[in-house]
């Protein structure tokens, strides 16, 4: 059985290979201020970043402040974010986010984890991303569906929820790498390590991934 130190060493090598394989990561949610990042990341749940960006390109021109979302019509929001899926819940979340930001934080997005988690639809993953990108605070490793899938396949964690998995993954990497680990795993998950039929024969990790040997018989990458 692999020891913790062996897992940590392998995790370091995996990140090194992914950095080399993907000089450019993404695309991810596009934003120009913390409020846009909160909104875009919340909308990205169960939706592609490409679709979110098409939606927010219009949305962000109309809703500029937390007050705009707080005062918005739910019906109007539903129509405007319909293509992002789960539009009824997400529209309520948008209005709720606006209200809480106005009532508790003067309309500004807070820079503390416990405060961000008060916002409707904002998970730990979303909060970690907002803190890292908007405030430069690396307090947690964001675990989305791609990270959750790949971390399991790579043998890093057997946790059943993203919330439980995140602190386990954080033990393998320095805090400054938390966001990068998220972004490289997402990029690799989209390109190679798909939910079904992962392209193990094309994977730069196939000789150090415990799942690759199970998923396909291949010659190791050197």
Question: Which residues, at least 6 apart from 131, have a Cβ–Cβ distance to it below 8 Å?
Answer: 111, 113, 116, 137, 138, 139, 140
User: Residue 151 belongs to what H/E stretch?
Assistant: helix 145-153
Please spell the DSSP secondary structure of 5-67, one letter per residue. Answer: HHHHHHHHHHHHHHHHH-SS-------SSHHHHHHHHHHTTTS-HHHHHHHHHHHHHH--SHH
Q: What is the number of alpha carbons within 13 Å of residue 162 lying toward its C-beta?
A: 18
- Which of 92, 144, 171, 213 is catalytic? The answer is 144
The question of whether 144 is a catalytic residue gets the answer yes
What is the C-alpha to C-alpha distance for residues 58 and 103, in angstroms, rounded to an integer? 26
What is the DSSP secondary structure assignment for residue 110, as one 8-state letter? P
- Which of 49, 90, 95, 125 is catalytic? The answer is 125
Say how many C-beta atoms besides its own lie within 10 A of residue 217's C-beta. Answer: 9
Say how many C-beta atoms besides its own lie within 10 A of residue 22's C-beta. Answer: 15
Say how many C-beta atoms besides its own lie within 10 A of residue 74's C-beta. Answer: 12
The question of whether 115 is a catalytic residue gets the answer no
51 phi and psi angles, rounded to 5 deg = -65, -40
Structure tokens at 42: 């919340």
> Which residues are marked as active site?
125, 144
């Amino acid at each position: 059985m692999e020891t913790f130190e062996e897992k940590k060493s392998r995790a370091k090598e995996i990140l090194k290979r992914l950095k080399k394989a993907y000089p450019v990561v993404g695309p991810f949610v596009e934003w120009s201020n913390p409020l846009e990042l909160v909104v875009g990341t919340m909308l990205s749940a169960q939706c592609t970043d490409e679709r979110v960006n098409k939606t927010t390109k219009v949305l962000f021109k109309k809703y500029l402040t937390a007050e705009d979302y707080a005062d918005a019509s739910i019906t109007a929001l539903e129509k405007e974010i319909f293509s992002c899926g789960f539009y009824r819940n997400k529209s309520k979340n948008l209005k709720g986010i606006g209200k809480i930001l106005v009532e508790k934080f003067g309309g500004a997005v807070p820079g503390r984890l416990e405060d961000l988690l008060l916002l409707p639809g904002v998970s730990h993953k979303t909060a970690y991303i907002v803190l890292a990108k908007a405030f430069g605070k690396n307090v947690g490793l964001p675990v989305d569906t791609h990270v959750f899938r790949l971390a399991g396949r790579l043998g890093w964690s057997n946790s059943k929820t993203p919330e439980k998995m995140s602190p386990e993954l954080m033990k393998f990497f320095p805090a400054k790498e938390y966001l990068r680990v998220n972004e490289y795993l997402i990029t690799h998950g989209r390109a190679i390590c798909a939910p079904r039929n992962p392209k193990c024969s094309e994977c730069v990790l196939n000789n150090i991934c415990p799942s690759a040997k199970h998923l396909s018989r291949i010659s190791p990458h050197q």
